Amino acid sequence: MIKPLMLSLIMLLGSLSIGCSSETGSADAATGQLNVKTAKVDNERERRVISNGYDTLFGAVSNNNMAKIEEIISESEASNNGLDYRQTALVIASYLGSVDIAEQLLKTGARVDGVSRKGKFNPLMAAALNDQLPMIQYLLENSADINYVTSSNRFPLGVAVRKNNVELCRYLLENGARISPQGQKDSDAFFVAAEAGVIDAAQVFLDSGIDINAAYRDQNALHYALKKQQTKMAQFLLGKDIEVNPPQRYVRTSALIQAAILGDTDLFEKILAKTKDVNFKDDDGFTALMRASANGYPEIVSALVERKPDMEVKDKRFQRTAIVYAGHNGHAGVLQVLLGSEDKQNGISAHSLSFALVEAIKGSHVEAVKVLVEAGADLNESDIGGGRPLFIANRTMRNRARNAQGRQGDESVRKAIEDAKQIYELLDKADPAT
């Protein structure tokens, strides 16, 4: 049985994610396997040697037991390629910073860039993960590939970025590390820094001369920061005058839409000031106004309304406009902003107004219903499914009453019935003849 320390190291190294999403193909199954002896042995013998608990090479490495390591190497003739474990012995030694053990393993045939069958790290990455600079220096002196990329899209500089180890980032760059080891991919270390919100590392890359507007499939570092809700990183990049309007040939999204989803008003206004097209639609057909309205951000909606956006843009799936989404989610404050300008409804159609009312009724959003009724929503206008406000209200009342049977003590049921009653009274008062 492997000691707890050994087991925890294997789990740690096997589970951590260091790169961004990968588009690379799978590596050859034999690539990066660690060979203690070059002589080949059958798999059954490998399994027997590896499964011997404390007598395995793994256990000896984790315990820094040089005598045991030499004993295993001299007696077993086994090829330890990580058959039953996530990591090779050299990966573990590198993580622990055991230079003397690494030296012995390399002398007996270990591959300096070896990655086990189940592993996702090579020795250099493992050393970077644990800030083992002497080990990193040793591995590089022994021809470790500083730009090695595993099949799971991990690479040494990406590890250093995630660790926010600025000095290690500088060291790796000075020794030949490339920010984009595979060419311009989403694994670019600058994009990794943006996603992780590691401002210091991003500054190191900018100091090295990287183009701040470098993009992969139309997305630059600002997009990566916004997608991961890294507001401080986004503010940092905007302060460096990053482009907010890159060409959109592949991915239908924009910094403005992502900021509208995020909901940070100050950040949004900075991006809005640099945005050319406020009516740009994402893959789902949403504009920034629709996203902000759906999420309930009245201040962001107010900033957008000043730019005179198209109020009648509909999403692809539900054919809802911004005001319909506000009604659907019960955002009364957003509704007041959308309906409160000097030209009243800002180009909102009577159909959208009534559609929003129907959605608010379905959700039992009393305050939203009140705002829409006061704005003059037509109680006889149907939504896209043919439902009229009073009909929907009646049906809602009946459903609430039916659900209440046998649940009289349920406070949520009582509240739902009361909400439905208030909504019906609001509609009846607005048009008692209907």
14-25 confidence digits (pLDDT tens): 544 444 443 333
Mean pLDDT of 248-275: 93
The reported pLDDT for the residue numbered 379 is: 85
Point out which residues pair with 427 in neighbouring strands. Answer: none
> What is the pLDDT of the chain when averaged over all its residues?
81
d(CA 222, CA 236): 9
57 falls in which pLDDT band (50, 70, 90)?
Answer: low
Poorest-pLDDT segment among 69-78, 173-182, 360-369: 69-78
Top-confidence range, 27-31, 341-345, 414-418: 414-418
d(CA 230, CA 246): 19
pTM for this entry? 0.78
Residue 95 · residue 68 · CB < 8 Å = no
377-413 confidence digits (pLDDT tens): 988 877 667 777 778 877 777 776 677 666 666 777 7
d(CA 97, CA 124): 11
Q: Which fold has domain 1-144?
A: 1.25.40
User: How many CA atoms, within 13 angstroms, populate the side-chain half-sphere of residue 249?
Assistant: 5
The reported pLDDT for the residue numbered 142 is: 97
The reported pLDDT for the residue numbered 367 is: 97
The reported pLDDT for the residue numbered 60 is: 73
Q: At what angle do helices 89-96 and 4-15 cross, to 10 degrees?
A: 100
Tell whether the model's pLDDT for residue 31 goes beyond 90.
no
Tell whether the model's pLDDT for residue 284 goes beyond 90.
yes
Tell whether the model's pLDDT for residue 202 goes beyond 90.
yes
For the chain, the structural domain boundaries read 1-144, 342-434
83-100 confidence digits (pLDDT tens): 344 567 788 889 889 999
Amino acid occupying residue 398: R
Token pair in block for residue 88: 């090779």
* Better-predicted residue by pLDDT, 427 or 333: 333
3-state secondary structure of 219: strand
Poorest-pLDDT segment among 29-33, 304-308, 398-402: 29-33
- For 5, other C-beta atoms within 10 Å of its C-beta total 12
Residue 63 · residue 94 · CB < 8 Å = no
Residue 88 · residue 80 · CB < 8 Å = yes
Residue entry with tokens 């040697």? 49
Amino acid occupying residue 404: A
Tell whether the model's pLDDT for residue 43 goes beyond 50.
no
Domains 1-144 and 342-434 share a fold: yes
Tell whether the model's pLDDT for residue 33 goes beyond 70.
no
* Better-predicted residue by pLDDT, 125 or 115: 125
Residue 90 · residue 114 · CB < 8 Å = yes
How does 291-329 read in b/e, with b if 16+ C-beta sit within 10 Å?
bbbbbbbbbbbbbbbeeebebebbbeeeebbbbbbbbbb
User: How many CA atoms, within 13 angstroms, populate the side-chain half-sphere of residue 402?
Assistant: 6
Token pair in block for residue 365: 């959003």
Tell whether the model's pLDDT for residue 370 goes beyond 50.
yes
Q: Please, what CATH class does the domain formed by 342-434 belong to? A: mainly alpha
Tell whether the model's pLDDT for residue 13 goes beyond 90.
no
